[in-house]
Amino acid sequence: MRLAGKMVVLCVTGGIAAYKAADLTSKMRQAGAAVRVLMTESATQFISPMTFETLSGYRTVVDTFDRNFAWEVEHISLAKAADVFVIAPATANVIAKAAHGIADDMVTTTLLATKAPVVVAPAMNTGMYDNPVTQQNLQTLRERGFHIVDPAAGHLACGDTGRGKLPDTPTLMHGIEKALTPQDLRGQRILVTAGPTQEAMDPVRFLSNHSTGKMGYAIAARAAMRGAEVTLVSGPTALAAPEGVQRVDIISARDMYDAVISRADRQDMIIKAAAVGDYRPAEIAPEKLKKGDGELTVALARNPDILAELGRRKHPGQLLCGFAMETQNLLDNAADKLRRKNCDMLVANSLRDKGAGFGTDTNVATLLFADGRRETPPLMSKEDLADIILDRLLAMQQAQLN
Ligand code: CTP
């Protein structure tokens, strides 16, 4: 989480979802952010300022009639110090005021003064949310560059069912982090594959590998955070789908082939981090295989090579990034793979390197490029390596355009 060291001004306005802002405060603080809470008077009817004071470690600023000079200075200094300004929950009222520049309390005067990115998380009754005036106000805010975190649909406190629920904390944190992240991949369609494949032998057994999917998931998460439209074709893993990513679940290499090839044409970048099984049992036994006394020989059939097929189909302007995991002759094998499969870039991992390999949170890899360049970034988190991979692909794309 990249909220560490950031100064977040969190404005809590008066709706029943105000209690959820307490969890948000706590989680942001745990992520290393300094959280300064401002509340409207009506918000204090739903939750006590003391709750936020305890969770944030700072005095909660509440709009009061006895505002004095010091408070006025405080709101301007908070507006200046904020790295990001968050209104969660945002009532229809505060959204309307923000859209029209009305500044009549601590929250709205501070908002008007800030130059920080603003994240608005609407939460209200469905009728109020769907009302054209609220929608128009939200549209005005979007056009002014505010980041709107759309409400979830479901059961609402008023008994209605529909859109208007404040999203859960991870979704809010994702929206806040996104507002702090340059959207340099906006408009790009990126397909990422991740995880192992499973090749069935019989109804209870399969052949697979040790991939956990962490590298591919990190790439998908960072690409979405940087604004790309991301499809993640994933084999079976224990990982949750990253926020803002469309995940397509597959089991076998042939499933992955179908899922990837059917979506390939419309992608700007395809990054194949999955550990695809090269072979599958030639026959899937319809019933469980029973053991005998002697050896069991299983005939294996070749799976299609998805990356090679993508290399054949690649259209001008599309970038293809493969991965190679080797135990020997890493760079020679990788260079050969890059050429054979018509990739623009190949990320070569050695299973023998400390800090690399299956299930780790770090990776060391050598990036090989089609023009012969090579780069070996130091040992770093899979997320940081994901950013470097995306940076290099973006640079290649920009170089092609010029
Ligand atoms: N890959 C693929 N389809 C396969 C096998 C591999 O798309 N059936 C992709 C992987 O996602 C990875 C790259 O190919 O991006 C390299 O995988 P690897 O198994 O190392 O490559 P192979 O060409 O199968 O090499 P080897 O000769 O080492 O078996």
pLDDT of residue 288: 95
From ligand 1's centre to the CA of 162, what distance in Å?
46
Phi, psi of 358, deg, nearest 5: -70, 135
Tokens encoding 110: 């501070």
Minimal-distance CA residue to ligand 1 atom 24: 278
Asked whether residue 153 carries a pLDDT value surpassing 90, the answer given is yes
From ligand 1's centre to the CA of 296, what distance in Å?
27
Residues pairing with 162 in the sheet: 154
Domains of the chain: 7-180 (3.40.50.1950), 189-286+297-401 (3.40.50.10300)
For 25-45, the DSSP string reads HHHHHHTT-EEEEEE-TGGGG
Q: Does residue 15 contact residue 120 with C-beta atoms inside 8 Å?
A: no
Tokens encoding 174: 């994702």
For 59-84, the DSSP string reads PPEE--TT--HHHHHHHHHHHHH-SE
β-strand pairing of 374-375 with 366-369: antiparallel
For 282-306, the DSSP string reads SS--SSPPPP-SS-----EEEPP-H
Residue located via tokens 């470690």: 57
Rg (Cα) of the chain, in Å, rounded? 25
Q: What average pLDDT does the segment 201-206 reach? A: 96
Asked whether residue 106 carries a pLDDT value surpassing 80, the answer given is yes
pLDDT of residue 68: 52
What's the one-letter identity of residue 38? L
158 is catalytic: yes
Asked whether residue 159 carries a pLDDT value surpassing 60, the answer given is yes
Q: Which residues contact 6 (CB under 8 A, 6 or more apart)?
A: 32, 33, 34, 83, 84, 180
Digit-coded pLDDT (tens) for 58-68: 999 987 544 55
Which one-letter DSSP state was computed for residue 275?
A: B
From ligand 1's centre to the CA of 324, what distance in Å?
7
272 lines ligand 1 (CB under 6 A): yes
Q: Work out the pLDDT band at 357, boundaries 50, 70, 90.
A: confident
337 lines ligand 1 (CB under 6 A): yes
From ligand 1's centre to the CA of 273, what distance in Å?
9
Nearest to 198 by CA among 286, 277, 272: 277
Tokens encoding 385: 């390596």
For residue 124, the Cα-to-chain-centroid distance in whole angstroms is: 26
Sign of CA dihedral 94, 25, 387, 224: negative
pTM of the model: 0.90
Digit-coded pLDDT (tens) for 107-136: 999 999 999 999 999 999 999 999 999 999
257 lines ligand 1 (CB under 6 A): no
Q: Which residues contact 110 (CB under 8 A, 6 or more apart)?
A: 9, 11, 38, 75, 76, 78, 79, 85
350 lines ligand 1 (CB under 6 A): no
274 lines ligand 1 (CB under 6 A): yes
Local structure of 122: helix, strand or coil? strand
Nearest to 367 by CA among 378, 377, 359: 377
305 lines ligand 1 (CB under 6 A): yes
Q: Which of 11, 158, 321, 343 is catalytic?
A: 158
Minimal-distance CA residue to ligand 1 atom 6: 276
Q: Does residue 152 contact residue 243 with C-beta atoms inside 8 Å?
A: no
Digit-coded pLDDT (tens) for 34-92: 999 999 999 999 999 999 999 999 999 987 544 554 555 677 888 899 999 999 999 99
Which one-letter DSSP state was computed for residue 355?
A: T
Tokens encoding 395: 């640079």
Q: What average pLDDT does the segment 333-356 reach? A: 90
The count of residues in the chain is 402
Phi, psi of 112, deg, nearest 5: -65, -30
Q: Which residues contact 121 (CB under 8 A, 6 or more apart)?
A: 86, 87, 88, 89, 90, 148, 149, 151, 166, 167, 172, 175
Local structure of 48: helix, strand or coil? coil
From ligand 1's centre to the CA of 247, what distance in Å?
21
Q: What average pLDDT does the segment 334-345 reach? A: 96
pLDDT of residue 66: 47
278 lines ligand 1 (CB under 6 A): yes
Q: What average pLDDT does the segment 299-313 reach? A: 98
H or E segment at 331?
A: helix 330-340
CA distance 182 to 98: 24
